[in-house]
Amino acid sequence: MNKRLAAGLLIGILIGAAGTLGVFAWTAGYSRMPSRVVLENDKVRVKEAIFIPGEKPGMHTHDLPHVGVIIDGGTLKFNYPDGKVETLELKDGDVGYRDAHVTHEAVNMGKTPIKVIEVEIK
């Protein structure tokens, strides 16, 4: 698996569109982060996240390791607290893994929403 894809794919999975999803998850010390939980049990939490073009949701930190599946792809720009910037092309059907405790902001650079399903491993 492409390490750059795996890293970038899962960086922004929890960020979504507040107006579209209407459900908010909060992370320690950073801005609110909207997403919609579609399944949760004692083993996993599955979320749907939608990135709206141009929206800047602010920094957040992932608290669990997770696998992400791109449903509707596009270009995400990832901003990190240390000033690093990374831009990734995510294609429909791409899958990646990310460890816990990653802090970033993901911004959709395209013209259409990006939709991701995230499976957080408890």
| DSSP per residue, 24-45 | EEE-TTS-EEE-EEEEE-SSEE
pLDDT at residue 28, as a whole number: 36
Q: What is the pLDDT of residues 74-119, one digit of tens each?
A: 999 999 999 999 999 999 999 999 899 999 999 999 999 999 999 9
d(CA 78, CA 76): 6
Over residues 11-20, mean pLDDT? 37
Q: Is 58 left (phi over 0), alpha (psi -120 to 50) or beta?
A: left
Q: What is the pLDDT of residue 34?
A: 58
* Residue 2 reports pLDDT greater than 80: no
Q: Which whole number is the average pLDDT over 34-55?
A: 91
What CATH number does domain 3-121 carry, 3.20.20.140, 3.30.960.10, 3.40.50.360, 2.60.120.10?
Answer: 2.60.120.10
Are 10 and 98 a contacting pair, CB within 8 Å? yes
How confident is the prediction for the chain on average, in pLDDT?
Answer: 79
Predicted structure pTM score: 0.70
Q: Break the chain down into helix, strand, coil percent, rounded to 5.
A: 10, 50, 40
